[in-house]
Structure 1
């Protein structure tokens, strides 16, 4: 029997907690960390993380520099053309985050507002498509994005609801103003196009973890306090 196969796993350096924390922080943890650990342990595989900026991470996978990404990757039709995706492991929506004293009654309230988003995300695509006339402010990391909102540099931000939930757990000055209509989305593990054997193994293991209760335990550990 040869040594365990090592998987090179791409990781978003911006640490979208509670999906995962900052890899450099020493206390690396999160929902995706536990889930990937459970899957790879079952398959006898070893994970080797490679930290990268979100704006370059999908390109690295496409070029074959990584084996997979388990870091809040939204499944989209365009991405499915160039990558393989496992079955989804989390369903969510996009949401708008505002200050505690602000309110949003609907999309018409976005008019003339300065909106913050992270670069190269589905949230950015959504904002550009729906609010082309608005002033859009870009951030490289989630931390920077939420800081801009707190300091008044932007009026609201658009983000994935689990990530927003993680930030709001630690910040009572901000809140979810509204969930955005028709933005039902899912995260899945992204792999290189044609890597169907690995995809099949991951899907089978994901099903097994849901059947034996492991998935539910991991989910409860990280999301029992978060509404999304």
Structure 2
């Protein structure tokens, strides 16, 4: 998959800085929560582009991130819709940049200042916390094994000698390394390459997050999740280490509001509740 480059508008910074100085007064939302104006938020949060929450995400990774020409940002999915609602709570618009997952989860993309926040179904781990700060958890996940129904593979114990596709830099890859004994692990940069690979017969199985494999199972009846693995994983939104504390606090506050007022549940149900 080709990746789009960052679309930052450097020429807007001078004008936005003047607006930020002029517009420091906050708005008060119903219930008494003080919400900063867009210009004040740009100044307080150190955003890449004033008034806009610039999000880095590895797309596609359905149902969390997908291209969507009908949405204002050009993307949708659980992560994107949730972060759009969070941005609205703190008076920001949202822009999404499609980036590779491995440098995003390592912290390199965020430290480089490409974006303000990472939203890419990213599990909070101790290793990642060495280079990244995370929001409060917003989703609990499982790992899973997807195969063709006629493959004869019934679970992870039957992968010896088989080619198993994993996404590079993910907890799914780590789980496969530790538990898929005798398997030949094949790394791919994203689910956008994993799914076509199993359809083309290049790999025998995919080991990755259960909701993503479930989308493939729904899309093609020739494929089936044969085993899920409870790994106690939780997703969080990622920030450059030690640099975005004010933005992280604002995101956490907005996430709590969304859970308290029921909007989080509505977004969750749209993607994960059986119809």
TM-score of the aligned structures, taking structure 2 as reference length: 0.74
- Cα separation, 2, equivalents of 1:147 and 1:51: 19
Equivalent runs, 1:30-41 vs 2, <5 Å: 30-41=77-88
Instruction: Give the aligned length.
Output: 224
State how far apart, in whole Å, the 1-side matches of 2:130 and 2:56 are. 19
Deviations for 1:183-212, whole angstroms, at most 9, x for unmatched residues?
A: 221111001112222222111211111111
Stretch deviating more after TM superposition (127-136 or 159-168): 127-136
2:190 match: 141
Does the CA-based 8 Å contact 2:143-2:210 persist in structure 1? yes
Gaps of 5+ in 2: 1-22, 25-38, 43-51
- For 2:67, the equivalent position in structure 1 comes to 22
2 CA distance for matches of 1:62 and 1:163? Answer: 28
Per-residue displacement from partner, 1:127-177 (whole Å, max 9, x unpaired)? 223346421222223132122222322221101111112222211111111
Q: Residues 94 and 184 of structure 1 are in contact (CA less than 8 Å); yes or no, is this contact kept in structure 2?
A: no
Query: Aligned with 2:161: secondary structure?
Result: coil
What do you get for the CA RMSD once the two structures are aligned? 2.2
Q: Secondary structure at the match of 1:191?
A: strand
| Aligned partner of residue 145 in structure 2, secondary structure | strand
Cross-structure match for 1:202: 251
Query: Does residue 98 in structure 1 map to residue 154 in structure 2?
Result: no
Q: CA deviation at 1:220?
A: 0.7
Give structure 1 stretches of 5+ with no counterpart.
Answer: none
**Matched residues in 2 for 1:128 and 1:99: separation?**
21
- Alignment partner of 1:10 is 2:59: no
How far does the alpha carbon of each residue in 1:36-82 deviate from its partner, in whole angstroms, 9 at most, with x for none?
11111111122222221223323111333321111211111111121
CA distance in 2, matches of 1:168, 1:125: 23
Q: Which has the larger radius of gyration?
A: 2
Counting only pairs closer than 5 Å after superposition, residues 52-91 of structure 1 correspond to structure 2 as: 52-58=99-105, 59-91=108-140
**Aligned mates of 1:24, 1:84 — CA distance in 2:** 31
Provide Cα deviations, 1:78-118, integer angstroms capped at 9, x if missing partner: 11121111111111111000112345554322222221112
- Decide which of 198, 202, 218 is 1:153's aligned counterpart: 202
Residue correspondence of structure 1 range 188-227 to structure 2 within 5 A? 188-194=236-242, 195-225=244-274
